[in-house]
Amino acid sequence: MIDKGKMSSENTDKTPLLRNRIPENPITVDNKSKSKKQGNEGLARQGSHANKALSKINQSPKIGLQRTSRTTQKLKLLPEDPPNLENEYDDEVYSQVTRIKDTPARKDAETLGKSQRDLLPRVTAYCTCGSYKMKELLRWLKDRKRIHNTNPKLFDECLYTPFTYKDWRNEYGYQDEQHQHQFIRLADEGGDINVGKKTAIFIFEYGVVIMWGFSRKEEAAFLDDLARFESEKLSSEDVQVEEFNYYITSSYQPRIYNDFITLRDDSNYMLKLSISHALAQSVKISLFEELVDNTIEDTQDIPEQIAHTGKVRMSRDEIMKSIGELFILRINMNLHGSVLDSPELMWAEPHLEPIYQATRGYLEISQRVDLLNQRLEVISDLLHMLKEQLGHSHEENLEFIVVVLVAVEVVVSVVNIIVDILAY
């Protein structure tokens, strides 16, 4: 029962980005690689392209997701063997770090915090528009196979592809075989963590893109390229962003804790797809949450007017405009409400369902949808009240017209009587 937000196709901003300025790219440049001339022209073009996009960082939106797992250190275990753990995701695993029994997992959880986020690959979700032009986007990605190592695959409403900025990554050594698996240890008793970055992009038709393993600079460049395929583009203030980090380890069970995603296999794009579905739904819900909050805030004076005066101090045109805006809100939410349903992919690939449900539980999607529906009922009641007020106003106008007509008829009758009397 939910979708789209205050979408403006007239907005000219092309690249909605994050709100806080941080280093463009945490990777240092090797002096030897600087001296190489080959590929420098392509790198300069891409670099200026991304730097232009990054200049808008301070204009970016606030992250307005209304979920408690952002601040309460929520833990959700991701099933390792879905057929044997079908009920795992039905139970809310809402544990603090002291309740994690696995020693390596607990030590890593105690260590991971804001200071470690720059060490680990990013998972970022952006809601930038109402929808993407998937056919044109698919053709564009196929044409970039030689340049960016793309290999797009369409899964119903989701388009997956690997995507590499080879100029930047070759220079920094990202894609070298020896750098594919970079192991670190966060704590003495923690597990071996692989921070090798294998990039992947998941683009959802309803205006959300999920990027795995990209730097902020690369995210900015891709969003700038993606802007040409947007329909009903959101303004930079309305763009929603959700940020996670992830790492690979075989030392303990996959999980999501404190917005850190733990996986066992970095090359399993189907696993990332199931997680990305839940992330995309979450960031889309945040757009609805902000839209509904703004609508309630803008219309809260109307009930107060009725409470104090018994009437709405609005003209007929103003009431009709308010009714139209409320109708548009409800239509947008119901038109794309299927976005929040379980994806059809889960019917075709049932082994992915537990992973999807576990991520959905961590993001508290069901609770947020219920709360959103309650707020929509408030808006629906307000819409009903305005329609009644408009009907009462129309009835009052008709009554006034009838009274005036009767008065005119009485006056005419009196005048006729007087004329008749004077004629005699």
pLDDT of residue 99: 58
- 354 occurs within a structural domain: yes
- 301 occurs within a structural domain: yes
Please, are residues 89 and 354 in contact by the beta-carbon 8 Å criterion?
yes
pTM over 0.85: no
pLDDT of residue 154: 93
Q: What is the mean pLDDT of each run of 10 residues along the chain (424 residues)?
A: 42 38 38 45 50 48 57 69 41 51 70 76 93 94 91 92 79 46 63 76 95 93 94 91 89 84 89 94 90 82 81 75 77 68 84 91 88 81 75 74 90 88 82
The continuous run of DSSP H or E covering 204 comes out as strand 200-204
- 422 occurs within a structural domain: no
pLDDT of residue 80: 64
Total of domains in the chain: 1
- 300 occurs within a structural domain: yes
Q: What's the angle, vertex CA 199, arms to CA 249 and CA 252, rounded to 5?
A: 10
Dihedral angle of Cα 154, 155, 159, 165, to the nearest 10 degrees: -80
pLDDT of residue 378: 81
CA distance 286 to 125: 11
Which structural domain range is residue 39 located in?
1-417
Please, are residues 177 and 96 in contact by the beta-carbon 8 Å criterion?
no
Please, are residues 323 and 264 in contact by the beta-carbon 8 Å criterion?
no
- 423 occurs within a structural domain: no
- 424 occurs within a structural domain: no
- 230 occurs within a structural domain: yes
Name, in order, each residue with C-beta under 8 angstroms of 28's C-beta and a sequence gap of 6 or more. Answer: 172
- 212 occurs within a structural domain: yes
Q: Which residue has the tokens 């894609």?
A: 175
CA distance 246 to 255: 10
Name, in order, each residue with C-beta under 8 angstroms of 390's C-beta and a sequence gap of 6 or more. Answer: 316, 319, 320, 323
pLDDT of residue 86: 38
